[in-house]
């Protein structure tokens, strides 16, 4: 675990959410308290305008026509690519537009894994990560088995703080390890894993793949600082539209990548020997892109810059601490691994818990009836029968949430606890 100052149990400062809240139309005329931003964030006016604008003004395809509507869209898409590259500390040819994080992780499995993994190679992964960071590697193993290659999927543990167990990873890295898959910010536990403790200890031939679905747009992410070879981002979790994501592919891995979606506009060449890969990032793209989604991502990046990731991080930490403080005295409430067990005041806007006497689904339903929109269930974690993997209620905040909302939520949970225990 990274070092941190001891908890002072003081109330951290929080931003006045009112100005930010006005940017999100869905929150303007509702009494509901939206606490499910880990599933998808609310959309600011600028993002909605970007989607509507594409469909209502100069609708065309990009990367094909030579008329002004088409060429201007091509330039706008490449400008968003450059903006995203700057946002994560990458080069523009390392930014691939995808259909989302799930698509990005599957692209790594199919474009890189099928080509580079040999019989006996191993992938280290956490079975307690999101299914999208588990199932692609399982499917890859099945596909390679059909070609007569057997690869190993080596699970590593998660500690009580919800972080990847670095000592366990270090102990399981072997001469056959080719990939380490890790969740940057865990979607249930709300814990940050950077693999910082392993810097300089890993063979450069081992690729490191970060799932940044939850961290992107919530806190600063620098792929160079992470020493990532691959990283995925979900546009809809960073104020953008659903169906658009980003895959970061480090330059040193480009020669190892086969075309992922060969077809129109995929940068693939055909000669007598077959298909030849073209330049990046077109090699990993193909067909008509999600043009309105990419334009919306550009608008989302502008909004994130206007608010500031440091501001968002500070606000979420304050809300997380307020939530933990309010829930801790509730009888029968148990926190899942995460910031509730940290020795310092930390938090990234995600807290999950269970309550004795009522199922997570029933509790989520009751809270929904009271106007609190939370996620309840297994949260897309594959069933492993591990402690902490049981169904739970997850609260996830963002810049548009307030202390008052958190206080009303914790009061409601306490009231429900009294009723189910009586």
- Which tokens go with 159? 């500690």
Question: Can you state the angle between helices 291-307 and 68-88, rounded to 10 degrees?
Answer: 40
Phi and psi torsions of 383, nearest 5°: -70, 115
CA distance 235 to 240: 5
Q: CA of 4: how far to CAs of 214, 253, 343, 346, in Å?
A: 22, 34, 8, 9
Active-site residue set: 380
CA distance 247 to 325: 37
Rg, the chain, Cα only? 22
CA distance 258 to 260: 6
Strand partners, 249: 230
Question: Can you state the angle between helices 45-56 and 291-307, rounded to 10 degrees?
Answer: 150
Strand partners, 355: 333, 358
Phi-psi region of 384 (alpha: psi -120 to 50; beta: other; left: phi over 0): alpha
CB atoms within 10 A of CB 95: 26
CA distance 186 to 164: 9
Cis peptide before 281 (omega within 30 of 0): yes
- Which tokens go with 366? 């009751």
CA distance 83 to 236: 17
CA distance 234 to 216: 7
């Amino acid at each position: 675990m990274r070092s941190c100052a001891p908890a002072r149990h003081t109330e951290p400062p929080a931003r006045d959410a009112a100005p930010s809240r006005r940017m999100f139309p869905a929150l303007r005329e509702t009494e509901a308290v939206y606490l499910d931003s880990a599933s998808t964030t609310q959309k600011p006016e600028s993002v909605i305008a970007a989607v509507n604008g594409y469909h209502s003004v100069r609708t065309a395809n990009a990367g094909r026509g030579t008329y002004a509507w088409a060429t201007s869209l091509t330039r706008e898409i490449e400008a968003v690519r450059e903006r995203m590259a700057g946002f994560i500390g990458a080069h523009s040819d390392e930014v691939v537009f995808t259909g989302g994080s799930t698509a990005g992780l599957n692209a790594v499995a199919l474009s890189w894994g099928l080509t580079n993994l040999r019989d006996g190679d191993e992938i280290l992964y956490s079975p307690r990560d999101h299914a999208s960071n588990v199932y692609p590697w399982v499917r890859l193993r099945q596909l390679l088995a059909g070609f007569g290659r057997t690869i190993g999927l080596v699970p590593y543990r998660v500690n009580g703080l919800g972080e990847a167990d670095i000592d366990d990873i270090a102990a399981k890295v072997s001469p056959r390890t080719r990939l380490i898959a890790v969740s940057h910010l865990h979607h249930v536990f709300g814990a940050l894993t950077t693999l910082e403790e392993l810097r300089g200890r890993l063979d450069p031939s081992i690729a490191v793949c970060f799932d940044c679905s939850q961290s992107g747009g919530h806190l600063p992410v620098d792929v160079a600082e992470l020493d990532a070879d691959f990283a995925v981002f979900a546009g809809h979790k960073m104020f953008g539209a659903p169906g658009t994501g980003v895959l970061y592919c480090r330059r040193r891995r480009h020669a190892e990548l086969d075309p992922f979606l060969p077809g129109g506009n995929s940068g693939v060449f055909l000669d007598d020997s077959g298909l030849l890969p073209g330049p990046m990032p077109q090699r990993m793209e193909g067909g008509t892109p999600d043009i309105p989604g990419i334009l919306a991502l550009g608008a989302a990046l502008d909004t994130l810059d206007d608010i500031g990731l440091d501001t968002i991080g500070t606000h979420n930490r304050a809300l997380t601490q307020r939530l933990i403080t309010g829930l801790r005295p509730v009888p029968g409430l148990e926190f899942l691994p995460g910031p509730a067990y940290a020795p310092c005041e930390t938090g990234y806007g995600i807290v999950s818990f269970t309550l004795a006497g009522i199922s997570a689904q029933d509790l989520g339903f009751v809270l929904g009836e009271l106007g609190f929109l939370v996620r309840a269930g297994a949260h897309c974690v594959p069933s492993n029968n591990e402690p902490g993997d049981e169904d739970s209620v997850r609260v996830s905040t963002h810049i548009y949430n307030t202390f008052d909302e958190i206080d009303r939520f914790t009061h409601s949970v306490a009231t429900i606890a009294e009723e189910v225990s009586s």
